[in-house]
Amino acid sequence: MAKQQERKVFMIRRKRDGLLSNGGLRPTFSTKGKQWSRIGDVKSHLTMVYEVGGFNSLEEWDGYKYELKLEKFFTNNNPYLDCEVIEAEVIAKSSEDVYPFLVKHLKKKQEK
């Protein structure tokens, strides 16, 4: 068994039910959700949803117009209206080479 390894992941969680975003242009939510390995990837995802949602044009990225459009984004059927970005740590408790892992799995499957 290898030593424990930790890595950070980021997810988007809906507050009212705890479900996690599956990502994509039209996000759905599930108990598993999508994990992003970098916070920058979450920012890119949120920006993509914002832009594709028709709430932004390049000339309106600054000042008051930007704030108005961002406010509109969070009031018009936005899937992320009641969500938060969370950071979690994934801890690998053990590891095993693929070949013996698969051999054990196939043996158990044959026994059934």
Domain ranges of the chain: 5-111
Q: What is the average pLDDT across 4-13?
A: 86
Question: Do residues 23 and 1 lie in contact, with contact meaning Cβ atoms separated by under 8 Å?
Answer: no
Report whether pLDDT(55) > 60.
Answer: no
pLDDT on residue 58:
44
Note the pTM of the prediction, 2 decimals.
0.66
pLDDT on residue 60:
46
List Cα–Cα distances, 16 to 44, 82, 95, in angstroms.
Answer: 24, 7, 35
Q: What is the average pLDDT across 60-78?
A: 56
Q: Rounded to whole angstroms, how far apart are CA atoms 19 and 28? A: 9
Q: What is the average pLDDT across 59-72?
A: 52
Tell me which of 48 and 62 has the higher pLDDT: 48
